[in-house]
Structures are given as structure tokens and as C-alpha cells.
Structure 1
Amino acid sequence: MKRVLPALVLICATALTAIACSDPTAADNNTGSAPDTKVNPTAKLDGVKLTMWTAQNTVNAPKQVIDAFEKATGAKVDAQAIPDLYEQNVPTKLAAGDKPDLMFWQPSISTLPFIQPQQNLLTLDSEPWVSKLGDTEKSLGVINGKRYAAIVTSPAMLGVYYNKDVFKAAGITEAQFPKSYDELLALGHTITDKTDAAAFYESGGDKWPMQWQMQLQLTDLDKQWWADLNQNKQKWTDPVVVKAITTYKEKLLDAGLAQKNYKTGTFTGSADALWKGEAGMVLNVTSFQSQLQAKYSTEQIDKKLGWFPVSNSDATGMYSPDQTNGVVAFKTGDTKRQNAARQFLAFWLDTDYAAYIKAMKIPSVQPSVPTPAGLPGTSLAQLKSLPTANGVFQAKAIVAPDTHLYLAEMIYGKKTPEQVAQAIQNQFAQVAKAQGAPGF
């Protein structure tokens, strides 16, 4: 979820010629796209070699499906890790004329435009696996009604991880789980009043997790507000946004609901503090879950931790797309490789999908394919909340500004909440204008 959009603005404004930063709503250029012919997932592909770009932390994510695909078809798939920062370096490489056959990429309306899908990617609307996706997953990977990404994993869920022992010591039962942000803060005060634990662990050192407290408070904004924002008719300086930032500062941080070292707290530190009971709650996305599963067994997690969803005025969760959710296929001009890329996606989401999610120990994106047994209760709770979840602003805004960087400046005393909102708006408008978005 770490983003480096200012650099992308510069790329879009000055560097992209091969994939010029044009209007993301422009008409599709289908030259070289694969024909809408049926794909046999296990057809022989001896001699065909495909290249797949991944981020450094996800280079092993497709390993199981690549091995199975190569064994079934005779093709070779070379997974290449692009140096961090992924979202910055990929557009730079594309602008220089380098192009893979396949690539992990965040399937959101705020991030897909950076790789110019209309010009660069195969459209995937007619692929047989599309109809198998869950409703939330179907909404991802689509720009202006055209599908450019296969959804291979569920979007991250944003919610509250909690330490069961801390909750028990504070006398908190499931019946008292919050149904609003105000109730969440009240729960925090119960923890600090009745235990020695901090209510929340905040990661000011790593910065990026700080966005979630603000995001959670924006869930009451309707589709029209986001539509207006995306057309420059509404702004991030709206009082509701300023209030969310102010509430985070005054009612959580200044009120003593975070751990004492919240300005230097880290993502890994948050998991350790929650596990030890030094903090009662951590608001974060599924990457936090992955961190736990890498260290502890399902039995250990179920005994120690729980998870619940919450939004600004109800108990609904939030989903957050990331680059591990989507895989795109490029127009390379080589019809044989393009068809092989489509075949790889069909194999991934059809022939191999049950084996893939079992190996990865992750929930299924297809209702017809059962989620593997043995996942922690925290993971299952997230899966249950996904169908009704609200999208984070990365899934709603045409640009996802680096809110965490400006929030970090606020906690370091360099910006007021109003100045944070203005900085967010300035960056949003700058990137939208560089993209050629209507209204900017």
C-alpha cells in the first residue's frame, strides 16, 4: 500500500512518450489485442516463454501456478522482480520500451491508469473466469466498462485486529464491539482505563498505516461525492475530510489512545505489540494478517487474536485493492505469446485455482471454489465481511494521494489538519491534471 505518486506525476508529465499520459477515458486502441477465442488452459505450449513482472515482496506469489502451468503445457514463465518502489519503477520501464507479457498490478481506478491500459493491455471481458468472480472482485480491474485485470486474490480487508486477553481484562465482550468510529474510540478509552495496554498501535515511523484511521471515517461519503471529486467538482478540503483528520489527531493521538512511541512505531512493531498485549487493537489491512501467519500457527492466532469490521457509522468492513490482487496481460504484438498469456490466466483461475489458494493459504475469489480449510478465524472473519465492505479511497478516487505522508507531517508538528487536507487536494489535482482527467 506504499505509494510514490509525486514521482509518477513527474513521469506522466515529462517522461512518458511510448505510453503517453493521456486521458484515461480515451477510446481503446485494440491493435494487437488477442482475439476473443476460447482458451484451452492445458493446451501444449512447447517453446513458448512468457515474462511476468512482480514486486520484490511478491516474486514467489505466483510460484505454485507457474510450476503447475509449465508442467501442464511445456511453456516457460520467467518471474522477474522489479526493484522497489514497484509503482514508480514499472511506468519508468514501460516508458523506456520494456514490456512483459504478464504483470502484477493494483486493479483499482486510481492505479490502473498509470500503465495506460487502453494502449498497453489486452482486454479480458470475454474470458470464462470473469463470471466466476465474487461481486466485489468483479468490480476491480475495470476502467470505463472494460476489464484489464484478472483478479487472482481477494482485496485486502481493513478492520480491527484485537488481543483477546486485553479485551477480557477490560471486560469487553463481542456484544460491545463498536458499530461506529465514535464507539471504536470509546472502546479505546475502556482499554486504557482498565488495563496497562495502549488502545491502538499507530505506525508513525513507517507512515503508510496511518491513513487507515482517516479512511475509516470517510465511509459515509456517497457515490456522488466521489464522482464529483473525480470531476473536480468536490475537493479533499471538504469539511468532512478535515474533520476526519482532526478527529484522528485530537481524539485518538492527542487523547492518549495510541502507544507512547506512535511517532516512530513500525508495521512489524504493531504485530509484536498486539501479540504481547502491549496494545489492545491495530487497525490495518490483510498484510498484517500475512505477517501474523508467517510467524504463528492458526491455533496460536485463534487463541490470541480476533478481528472485527467497523466503518464510520456501522459495523461494515472496508476493502483495499493492492498489487497482489490483479494480473494484467500486455499487448506485445506477438499473437502466440498474447494467447499464451490468456491461457496462463485461464489456467490460474480455472484448472489450478483450488490448488493455488490451498498452497497460498488464502481465501477464494470464486464463490464456487471453497476457501481452504485451516485458515485463522481472523482471516475467515475478513472473508465474511468482504461482500458488504466499503471500498477505501484507492478504489473510489481516480488518484490515490499520499495521505500518510501528510499525516506524518501533522504528527511531527509540521502541518495542521487543514494543511494536510490542502496538501492532499494539491497532489490529487496535480496527478489528475497530468493524466488528462476531465475537469482538471
Structure 2
Amino acid sequence: MKRRTLLGVAATLALSLAATACSDPGAGSSTGTAAATWTNPSAKLAGVNLTIWAAQNSNTVPKQVIDAFHTATGATVKVVTIPDPYEQGVQTKVATGDKPDLAFWQPTASMLTAINAKANLQPLTGAPWLSKLSPALKDMTGLLDNTRYAALITSPAVEGVYYNKEVFAANGITQTPKNFDEMIAAARSLKAKGVTPFYEMGGDKWATQWWVQVQLADAAKSGLWDQINTKKQTFSGPTVLGAIKKYKSLIDEGLFNSDIKTAKFEDQGKALLGGKAAMVMQVNSFFGELQASADTATLDKKIGFFPISPSGNVGTYIPDQSNALVAFKTGDAKRESAARQLLSFWMGPDYKNFTTAQNTVSLEPSVPNPAGVPQALLAVNGSLPTSVGSMQALAVANPDLYLNLADMIAGKMSPEKVASTTQAQFAQLAKAAGAPGF
């Protein structure tokens, strides 16, 4: 998964303004809403050449599919790696008219808006694999104004708690917390026994926002982001500001690692796997970091996952670019059709082979999970049916909340300043995206 799920607000604003200067994000091309046609996934495509844009952490994901598609159809598919920050690089290229046939892309409404989906992307209306998806996932993401533009290929990331089972057991914690307050009570118990309860990566910054967002899960379920989108609430209001203040109070209480200001993503993984900390608030990419250091048997023995919210075990989902693909309008009808065919092949006859090659959770009930999928990833996927959307999934724009929180951890901002700065950024981005009322 792409670690950093947000662009810098200044870069996003500039790119959004550039896109709106070229075309109206709300206006599609003449074929923007037309139903797509879907040919046989294995139909011959000899001589057809396709390009997929991918990030540095997703550029190997298509390999098995590409090889199988070439064998079945004769088409050649090339993967081009766009350097990080990936989203910024893609938007810059697209704004100048440079487009691939397909690209990995965060399938949220805000990021589909950011790439001007109605003008730039093929609608995937009537895709043959949609009926095969788990009902809980079918319409979770990938839509903009009720039109599908993104194909979900892997289980969406979830914000929640990865924990060390052995540390819990050694300190008398026999079951996972049932709500946020229970989790904090467990953390205080661990601290009293000399254990670092939580490990945060203030040095790398991007994960700081998860602590605020999981506290907002219940509010999100009750329409928080719709209210912020329509200016009925703000980041400076009691709901979001309260979550920011709570996060700071837990840090001030000493429930986090002493090097919180400088710790990195890699440090988190080493600390949890090595038993130097009990819990980490993270998303799926964190488990990928653990998989680079330990085999499945070790991970199943040591690492567990539980979703968390104020009221219970409610997860917060945040689909990212490695979870989905989009197909571009290139003006070449044959390549556009071939791009849709590749998606249909990927999620159709090849999907079982793809999930096995990636050792990942299947999104289609008719395709069983590979035998080697770690238990923690199964727990993450199991939390999706009752999860609620993140800021990235439900807000019309994604301000730099994580950077502002990192500044708070570093002592450069108060919670109030974090909230007001984030609100100002949100308003700028919402206006650039053409959101009503901004």
C-alpha cells in the first residue's frame, strides 16, 4: 500500500486549479457517461500495447496478470513507475495531456475528482466482475457521482490497531479492547508494568492522522464528513478538535514511545514485532512492513489486529492507490477497449491466480482466500463490512491533517492551531474542486 495517502495541500491546490482551468471537473466528455462495452476477457489482442502507471510500492503487483494476459491475448503491457510522491506526479502528467492506458489510483471520490475523472477516465459501468464482488465491497469505493471509474482489486486498507499478542499475554491482557476507552485503560495498565503501550512515527508523519480519524468513526457514521463538506461543521468544531486534543493528551500522558518526534515507519515495525511496544495504530501497509521481516507463521503467532472506535470495534476504511486501477480515455478506441478487457481478465478468469500470487485476501466469495494469507490481514478484511469511511473516503477534499498533527507532536502547533490550519486548507481545496458553498 502507498504509505502516504495525501498530497501536500499546496501541490494539490495548484494541480486542482490547473485541472479546472483546462476543463470543468463536473463536465464529462461526450462519452463520459456512456455505458462501456465488455468483450471476452481472453479475446485476441495481438499487436496491442498497453501502459500501466504504478507507484514504487505497486509496480510489481501486476506482473502475474500481465504475463497471463499476454499468453491469453497476445497483448503487451508495460508498467511505468512514477516516482513518489506518486499522486502528485500522475496529476502533473495528466494535466499536461500525458496519459497511460491504466493506472493505480486511490479510488475515493475526492481523488477521482482530483484527477478530473469525468473528463479523463473511462466509466466502468456494467463491468462483468462487479456482481462477483462481496456485497459489502461492491459500492464501497470507486464511484464519483454514482458513476464507477475505479476497479477495486485488493482489500481496502483499514485504520486500526496492530498488537503484539505475546506482550498482551505476558501482561495479563486476555482479550482485545472492545472500545477506545478500554484500549486506553489497557495502555495505562501496560505502562504501569513498564511496557510502552503505543508506538508512533512522528518523524515520518503520515500515520499521525489515524489517531484522530479512528476517534471520529462514530461521528463519521452519523454524517460528520457530509456536515464538514457542507460547512455545517468544521475541523475547529468540538468533534474534530476534541479528537485532536485527546490525541495530544495521551501523548502528554506518556503512553507513546519516548522518541515519538523522530521515530520512523520502519521503527514502528521493529518495535511491535520485537515486543518493545504493545500496539501501533496503522493501516495495511504496516503489515506489509512486518511481512518483509517475518514469515507468516511468526506473524500469526505474534501479531493481531482489531478495529477501534469510541463506541466499539468499528474500523475506518481508507482505500489507497495500490487497491484499485483506473482506465484512461486516450482517444484510441482499440486501446481503451483493451484496457477494459485487461481489467475484466484480471478480475475474472485470472483473479484466483492473482490472489495466490499476491497471497492476498479475495474480494470475490466464489474465489477462496489463498491458504497462506496471514490471520491479521483476514481480521482487517473482516472488519470492512461494518467499517466507516475515512476523511479521504468521504470528505470532498483532503487537507494536510497529518502534517499539522506532526507539527503538534514537535511542539510547533497547539491542537487549536492544528484544527484551524486544517480547516483553512480544506476550504481552499474544496473551493478549487468546485464544492458548493466554498
- TM (norm. structure 2) is 0.95
Is 1:16–2:14 an aligned residue pair? Answer: no
Could you tell me which residue of structure 2 aligns to residue 281 of structure 1? 279
Change (3 A) 1:368 1:138: farther
Displacement of 1:80: 0.3
Could you tell me which residue of structure 2 aligns to residue 265 of structure 1? 263
Displacement of 1:35: 5.8
**Paired residues of 1:155 and 1:325 also in contact (CA < 8 A):** yes
Give 1:153's aligned amino acid.
T
Displacement of 1:430: 0.3
Q: Map 1:34-433 onto structure 2 (within 5 A).
A: 36-134=36-134, 135-174=136-175, 177-194=176-193, 196-221=194-219, 222-250=221-249, 252-433=250-431
Change (3 A) 1:431 1:18: closer
Change (3 A) 1:35 1:378: closer
- 2: CA distance between counterparts of 1:33 and 1:45? 26
Q: Does the residue aligned with 1:56 lie in a helix, a strand or coil? A: coil
- 2: CA distance between counterparts of 1:76 and 1:371? 29
Displacement of 1:18: 7.7
- 1: CA distance between counterparts of 2:93 and 2:261? 35
- 1: CA distance between counterparts of 2:10 and 2:71? 42
Displacement of 1:11: 2.1
- 2: CA distance between counterparts of 1:391 and 1:33? 26
Residue segments in structure 2 that go unaligned for 5+ positions in a row:
none
- 1: CA distance between counterparts of 2:340 and 2:61? 19
Q: How many residues align?
A: 432
Displacement of 1:59: 0.9
Give 1:7's aligned amino acid.
A
Change (3 A) 1:255 1:75: same
**Paired residues of 1:32 and 1:333 also in contact (CA < 8 A):** no
Q: Does the residue aligned with 2:411 lie in a helix, a strand or coil? A: coil
- 1: CA distance between counterparts of 2:229 and 2:372? 42
**Paired residues of 2:19 and 2:116 also in contact (CA < 8 A):** no
- 1: CA distance between counterparts of 2:307 and 2:140? 21
Change (3 A) 1:160 1:35: closer
Give 2:264's aligned amino acid.
T
- 2: CA distance between counterparts of 1:71 and 1:234? 54
What is the root-mean-square deviation of aligned Cα atoms in Å? 1.6
Change (3 A) 1:386 1:203: same
- TM (norm. structure 1) is 0.95
- 2: CA distance between counterparts of 1:398 and 1:264? 31
- 1: CA distance between counterparts of 2:131 and 2:10? 37
Q: Does the residue aligned with 2:42 lie in a helix, a strand or coil? A: coil
- 1: CA distance between counterparts of 2:83 and 2:380? 30
Q: Does the residue aligned with 1:188 lie in a helix, a strand or coil? A: helix
Displacement of 1:33: 7.8
